[in-house]
Amino acid sequence: MGRHLVLALLLLLAPAAAAAQDSDAGRVPLPTIVKGKGEACVADTAYMRRYHMTELDHQRDETMHRGVRTRKFSLKECVDCHATPAPTGGYVSVNAPGQFCRSCHDYAAVTIDCFQCHAARPGETATKRAGEFPRTAGKFRQESEVQ
């Protein structure tokens, strides 16, 4: 009985021990934070990390049912800022592996439902509009300029 208990405990603790030794080997890769355009996001990172879905859910109901189209937490604006330009022109989808939304969501194992319906790339009018929140047009962290 005692031997079985010890064996069971060892089996339970083994994966944790293995993980402690080798934190990066073969487990889920830590998300790569893709920098968006401009200086800062509409809210600070810790707040967005926790509450971005709450804000998006609220925004979607406001836009859908009351026609309120403020842009601070609009999903379209998020995609406009956070989409990476593609080397061949245009943009990479934010839902592509390793891109902005996917890398954190893959790490946290949370399915993204948005892009079944919503466009994951900015539209052609994306860069032509001025923002109402801190965003300096033209100061990109990427190498290439976007048209």
Partner 1 sequence: MTGRTPQQGFDPQRRRFLSAAAAAAGVTLAPGVTLYGVTAAGSAAARAPEDPVTSSVRWGLLVDVNKCRDGCNACVTACVEENGLRGNGRPETDAQWIRKVELRDPSTGAKRSLPLMCQHCASPPCVDVCPTGASFKRADGIVLVDKHICIGCRYCMLACPYKARSFIHEVVEDQKPYAPRGKGTVESCTFCVHRVDEGRTPACVEACAEAGGDAMTFGDLNDPNSRISKQVAAYVTDQIRPDLGLDPGVRYRNL
85 binds partner 1 (CB under 8 A): no
Would you give the binding string for partner 1 spanning residues 111-130, x where CB under 8 A is met?
Answer: -----xxxx-xxx--x----
What is the helix (H) or strand (E) element at residue 122, kind and residue range? none
The nearest distance, CB 138 to partner 1, in angstroms, is 21
According to CB under 8 A, which residues from 8 to 47 bind partner 1? Answer: none
Q: Rounded to the nearest whole angstrom, what is the least distance from the CB of residue 89 to partner 1 in the complex?
A: 15
The CA distance from 139 to 142, in Å, is: 9
Q: Cα(92)–Cα(94) distance, rounded to whole angstroms?
A: 6
Is residue 91 helix, strand or coil? strand
- Kindly tell me which of 21 and 116 has the beta carbon lying closer to partner 1: 116
Q: Which residues pair with 85 in a beta bridge?
A: 91
Give Cα 111 distance to the centre of its chain.
12
Residues that bind partner 1 (CB under 8 A): 60, 62, 64-71, 76, 79, 116-119, 121-123, 126
